[in-house]
Structure 1
């Protein structure tokens, strides 16, 4: 059994840790509310815009365009969204594992895979692997602004148009609630056409022509798609960190309770031993 001094130090250490995790939980909860509101408000708009664009694109007679599928796919870019900091449970490990699995599958199919990291944790993970990293855009999460995300989207669109990459995929955590996030792979470019059975039967009135509308809407839709991924990842990070810190605080409380019980037992045993020594000493003197 550990001595009383060691137990007191451990109890103090656990108490300090519990205060830190509890404070981090409250901070993440406050940030989560704002991040959650942002993605919930953005998601319906982004999904509807994407749906309209896909249905419009599917009705065109020609599929040729700057953002259409390539005849041969050789170079693939994976844009991996992670966090810049840890202490958020399995948030980063899940996204890194999915990204590596996806990269390995493309590489096994004979494709050349490139990685663009949006977050320090993804960069730290992939720099140890053999896949070429073309950049780290983790600064986006320092202060999320549409203008910053728009610049990233425009650069990716330019690289696709210039045939630097034949496909671009987004890998990020999709937010559901504070306790649940889904790691997903989403094709960014080329623009996908929906299956024939998924094409909406809504008869739109176009002004100007369909082809011109597609060229106007595609860049806007792609920028919104990237922005939605950033907001999803940001909300997921705060939700994961809040949940992780909540569990850490509960574990610290349980450990503190166990240590206090052990401390009280050790203290009681020490007092009992002292009493026995005093009684034994008194008995020896009387004898």
Structure 2
């Protein structure tokens, strides 16, 4: 005969009894939200139980091997949705790479971002972005962020102040001259190796290196001050604009279009605006 036992109540963050008002309550809802079965098993097993170590990542087989009724706690356990999301990310990245690629690639095609669900472009895209994906549904947001080009809003932000004051207009002119020569496009055709060589040459010609070189480059090419590896990102952005893998419905700004936008910036007015903001903030 099997033996049954009750574990303690699962509590909400406010330590009240967990109920519908605290969010999703069925397995089906969590599946629709992008949670994996193995992550749910792992997390639920740790609500009121532990194996006596700091380890929190368990496969189902390992849970069966390590579980003992003696280590079940009597006090209620708090359901932490942030912890569950983190754990789902661990299990997602623990799956075979080809399986993760298939899941995310199909997601992007179904969501209308890509015209393909597999191939070298998709594989490199996932390799670049996977650390920011804890749920399959997160894939849409991270790809949308990579493809976006919020140049003007970033330039108007206070965070961009230091980059603008570091002779960004002059650096932009050097960048545009390098682009007009055809060297950048030729480098991007060669992939990341070509990009690295091109950046090295630009650094020498502008007498910049490290942050003073890569920060303005990231800003001009991606429209952002932060993001994944700049080399891998720019190569993928170039490919996205030349291979037809981005669905027509996506408002994607190609590298050529980004360069056109850079030519239209009134750097003098922008610099004056930042000076006014800085003066106002000190008054």
Confirm or deny a common fold (TM above 0.5).
no
Structure of larger gyration radius = 1
Q: Which structure has more strand as a fraction of its residues?
A: 1
Say which structure, 1 or 2, has more relative contact order (CA 8 Å, 6+ apart). 1
Report the TM-score range of the alignment, normalised by the length of the smaller protein: under 0.3
Report the TM-score, using the length of structure 2 for normalisation: 0.24
